Amino acid sequence: MSHEEDFGFRNSQYERPNQKWVCGRQAEGNGCNRGPDGRGQCQTFSECEPYKDGDRWHCNRPFTSGGKCEQGPLADGQCCLSRPPCKPRVSQRTRRGRVVMASGFLGLMVLAALFLAGSDNAFFSPGPLTSGHANIGSCQECHGQASLFPSDHASDPSLLCADCHEFSTAPLQAHNMSFTATAGDLASTGTTATEHECRSCHQEHDGDAALQMAKAGQSCSGCHTEALEFPRQHPAFNNLAARPVALRAIAFDHATHQNRHFPDQDQATFECDQCHEPKASSAGDLALQSFEQSCSDCHQSDVTGEFFDAGLMLWSIPAIDPDRLSGTGELPEAVYDEQAFVSPVQVWLLNKLGSAPEQLEAMVNFDLNPLDTEDFTASQKRQVEYYVKESQALLGSLRNPNDRPTANEPAIEALLAQLSPKQMQTAEAHWFEDQPLPDDAPYYGDLTDGGTFIRGFTLRYRPSGHADPLLKALIEDLVINRANANAVDQLLLQDLLSEEMAGQCGRCHQVDRQVVDANDLWTPTSSASPLTLFSHRPHMPPLADQQCVDCHTIDLEEPQHDFGQMDIQQCGDCHQKGKVENDCLQCHKYHAHPKTDD
């Protein structure tokens, strides 16, 4: 050990690195032995502090400072070698503590200043918002006022999104699909929950990249915990590209057309692009050409055939025995010869304009035959009386331009537009005042753009042709609101889709499928699953060396399908690791139903 390392009373000074203050002369190598007091005051004014032994004062200067001096203490006991006081310095340890405190205090002050100064709290924002949210001015607009106690939104943050982004179905349900699942169901699909927060995939404050779907594998595998590498571990396809004909928007059977109908046509060939326009579609998917381009050559007669000129009965005066029903008024004699049916449209309109379905029950349950009141119960007679009175009141209202009913529903508006005051005045005069029809009264043969005409004790509507606006509006209204349909609604829908209805819409348009909006009702959709997302465009020739029939094979053996089932390996040949991308989002989407603001 070197002499610098010597410790001992005679060899080394007493070091005090842990104390708050150190001698001011220590840095010069001339520190005192005693050191400053706890408050940083120098307490060494001489080389030593003499002690008294008997009547004599003795020097006790430390050995490290030279030991006893030659002169010894003064007579009054003071040291003879005075030492000017130093200015003690804080120790290194204390300085470090002060730096910690100062930096902490400074940091606190800076944060407080930034928090108070910026009204938009830009400093505390975790990052830029997406461009769609750029107009949001302050944190509070989404997050509410910060508080030590969580608000409703803080406890369920996805409600923040649902405040503005309304979904047509449950926003927090997994895939926005309303379903209930038991633990067993979840286990069978490899999922763990039925509810999902928006931020599980969409994290804000990351610029425009934030609302992009999170990394596909991670987001999906959050719930679908089973490994699903495509194509090796993907479940087998179920009806992919082979949806049963009965589930399609249009009852078009490819197999029957190819093998039965087209061979009967001279020189005609059955080609995909006769009906489908893959390259012209903005969505990149298979667009169906119009009825006139694809179907009318053969199917025009189905629309404008046998029942077309009879039209849709909008109003009728059925025969009612005035002797058996009080208060119905007298009807023209000719009514009893005509034997007109009750109009389902008229009953539906009465219902829509305020009459309860129960009050019209007799008009529905008696199959709309001419009213023979002989077998009616007392209750049914009251319903018929009610129907007659309400019909007369409505007729009076419709013929008066200043007293016409109004409605916000497109279907009712379209119907009321056809029941014009002039036409209703003419009809009333013809039916009840026995006046002949005027010369300019519309004749059904002239109504090529659609319109109403009077035939006997009925007012009828002749459609304009395929996709007639009134028929379309009525069917859309009845199908979309089918969940809340009453007996009157069901009666009219059944009537409109019957094969004896003008236009025979129900013969091709299979509206009894599950649909959620008008587009799904009339337009064929390419996917059987709402979670599947597929674009034909990248797969079409010449971009890919493929033909339609490579995937869509006609299958005559399967009665419910016209196309054969696709095998997963048909996709997996290209979509696999090392070739074309094969993550979940290549073919699937999370949201089964779009936002209402989309």
Q: Which is nearer to another protein, 155 or 484 (CB)?
A: 155
- Quote the least distance from Cβ 111 to another protein, whole Å: 7
Q: Which is nearer to another protein, 201 or 511 (CB)?
A: 201
- Helical axes 421-432 vs 378-399, angle rounded to 10°: 130
Residue from 58, 89, 199, 299 touching another protein (CB under 8 A): that is 199
Determine, following the binding rule CB under 8 A, whether residue 200 of this chain makes contact with another protein: yes
Determine, following the binding rule CB under 8 A, whether residue 385 of this chain makes contact with another protein: no
Whether 382 and 324 have beta carbons less than 8 Å apart is answered as: no
Whether 463 and 312 have beta carbons less than 8 Å apart is answered as: yes
Whether 167 and 159 have beta carbons less than 8 Å apart is answered as: no
Residue from 8, 9, 10, 28 touching another protein (CB under 8 A): that is 28
Q: Tell me if the bond preceding 231 is cis, omega within 30° of 0.
A: yes
Q: Name residue, tokens 């039925």.
A: 194
Residue from 2, 233, 238, 448 touching another protein (CB under 8 A): that is 2
- Quote the least distance from Cβ 21 to another protein, whole Å: 13
Q: Element (H or E) spanning 288, and its range? A: strand 287-288
Rg (Cα) of the chain, in Å, rounded? 46
Residue from 197, 361, 520, 567 touching another protein (CB under 8 A): that is 197
Q: Which is nearer to another protein, 126 or 436 (CB)?
A: 126
Site mask for another protein (CB under 8 A), range 140-169, x = bound? ---x--xx--x---x--x------------
Q: Which is nearer to another protein, 195 or 330 (CB)?
A: 195
Number of H helices, E strands in the chain: 22, 9
Q: Name residue, tokens 């009213």.
A: 371
- Quote the least distance from Cβ 212 to another protein, whole Å: 12
Separation CA 266–CA 285 (nearest Å) = 31
Separation CA 244–CA 392 (nearest Å) = 48
Determine, following the binding rule CB under 8 A, whether residue 29 of this chain makes contact with another protein: yes
Q: Please, which of residues 221-260 interact with another protein by CB under 8 A?
A: 222-223
Determine, following the binding rule CB under 8 A, whether residue 193 of this chain makes contact with another protein: yes
- Total residue length of the chain: 598
Separation CA 36–CA 27 (nearest Å) = 14
Determine, following the binding rule CB under 8 A, whether residue 63 of this chain makes contact with another protein: no
Separation CA 491–CA 344 (nearest Å) = 7
Separation CA 339–CA 48 (nearest Å) = 139
Whether 563 and 554 have beta carbons less than 8 Å apart is answered as: yes
From 8-16, 49-57, 438-446, 509-517, give the range in contact with another protein by CB under 8 A.
8-16
Q: Which is nearer to another protein, 194 or 373 (CB)?
A: 194
Q: Please, which of residues 85-144 interact with another protein by CB under 8 A?
A: 92, 95-96, 99-100, 103-104, 107-108, 111, 122-128, 139, 143
Q: How many residues bind another protein (CB under 8 A)?
A: 54
C-alpha pair distances (Å), 565 with each of 67, 199, 238, 382, 527: 108, 37, 8, 58, 14
Residues that bind another protein (CB under 8 A): 2, 4-5, 12-13, 15, 17, 26-31, 92, 95-96, 99-100, 103-104, 107-108, 111, 122-128, 139, 143, 146-147, 150, 154, 157, 192-193, 196-197, 199-201, 203, 205-207, 214-215, 218-219, 222-223
